[in-house]
Amino acid sequence: MLASMKNLAAAAALVAALAVPAAVLAQGIPTLTLSAQAGFFNGKWVYRSFNISANSKDTLAKLALGLNELELTEQKGQVVGKRTGQGVSYDLAGSAFYAAKQGATIRLHGTATISGKTYNYDYFGYVMPTWTGIGTTPDTIIGTVLRSDPANPNNAPLIANFSATREAAK
């Protein structure tokens, strides 16, 4: 009798264990979607840049470089705009590229004068796919930025990562 109770309990546990994943699957599996189309880059974006570091002890505060805003206008694959914030503002120009089943990319160039010194900024970013089936995901660009010194082209450039997230409608 004890053995049959154990078997019954084991069978009940197995049914319960199998039912939980089935209930989760019934809700729908989140999927990634590449949905960027021409004009995607239009608008205001919250921009953050970070130093690249392989040191696991570096804090986010140490890695953070900039918190700015990008305001971009895209027309026929050409992108113009401005990066503003932290006392620096400069124009940007470049191109948007769209590839089926691969997503969208953006390349921008700008020149800024900081403390009397001129720097070139070159940006390359990928549009992140969005998760569907779990609510809304803000549009996000992830990329890299290279800051070079045109007066000293032999100096190593500063290379950083950035993310830009579309500002929520106000």
Over residues 23-56, the pLDDT tens digits come to 444 557 888 888 789 999 999 999 999 999 999 9
Average pLDDT of the chain is: 87
Rounded to whole angstroms, the Cα distance separating 113 from 110 reads 10
Over residues 70-110, the pLDDT tens digits come to 999 999 999 999 999 888 899 999 999 999 888 899 999 99
Q: State whether 114 and 103 are in the same domain.
A: yes
Q: State whether 139 and 57 are in the same domain.
A: yes
Q: State whether 146 and 122 are in the same domain.
A: yes
Q: State whether 86 and 148 are in the same domain.
A: yes
Q: State whether 99 and 119 are in the same domain.
A: yes
Q: State whether 72 and 152 are in the same domain.
A: yes
The domain in which residue 6 lies consists of: 2-30
Q: State whether 23 and 77 are in the same domain.
A: no
Buried b (16+ CB within 10 A) or exposed e, 31-43: eeebebeeebbeb
Q: In the structure, what pLDDT confidence band is assigned to residue 127 with cuts at 50, 70 and 90?
A: very high
Are 142 and 123 a contacting pair, CB within 8 Å? no
- Structurally, how many domains does the chain consist of? 2
Burial class from Cβ neighbours inside 10 Å (0-12, 13-18, 19+) for residue 144 reads: middle
